[in-house]
Amino acid sequence: MIVGLGTDVLEVPRMAAELRDRAGFREAVFTAAEIAYCEGMRYPALHYAARFAAKEALFKALGADGQAGMRWREAEVLREESGRPHIVLHGSTRELAERLAVDEIFVTLAHIAELASATVVMESRRKSGEGGQRG
């Protein structure tokens, strides 16, 4: 059963400006593994933008969008060896997902020169009434 869905689109030039102009932005939003991956790419802002969009989409799916519910580094967007992206949750963000009975998170990323997007689907394999209440 789907328990959450979120999507987000971000302009890559906007992300490039944030990375360039806001001291500490990169470290406040991205984990060390995310930074290492993005910085290893030819156009880092493109990959940062896709990961930022995935985090936004995740928080929307969790019903936690808005500054109070967002803990950027608690949602880590990583890649499997195959290249498939996946999200690892930490801390209170993981606890929120557990309260919602989230068993699996699906994420897809897309980007072109000017735009990055992400969609997140959260699934629970539990039957209705087995837990997973919002709030």
Indicate which CATH number applies to the domain containing 10. 3.90.470.20
Q: In this predicted structure, which of 16-20, 46-50, 99-103, 127-131 has the lowest mean pLDDT?
A: 127-131
Residue in 29, 126, 31 with CA at minimum distance from that of residue 88: 31
| 27: in domain | yes
Inform me whether the pLDDT recorded for 113 exceeds 60. yes
Q: pLDDT at position 43, please?
A: 96
- Expressed as residue numbers, the domain containing 30 is 2-123
Structure tokens, 71: 């803990």
In the chain, the number of structural domains is 1
Q: Work out the average pLDDT over 76-105.
A: 95
pLDDT band at 18 (very low <50, low <70, confident <90, very high): very high
**Residue 7: which residues within 8 A CB-CB, separation 6 or more?**
57, 60, 117, 118, 119, 120
> pLDDT over 70 for what percent of the chain?
89
Structural domain includes residue 135: no
pLDDT band at 135 (very low <50, low <70, confident <90, very high): very low
Q: Does 98 map to a domain?
A: yes
Give a yes or no: residue 132 inside a domain.
Answer: no
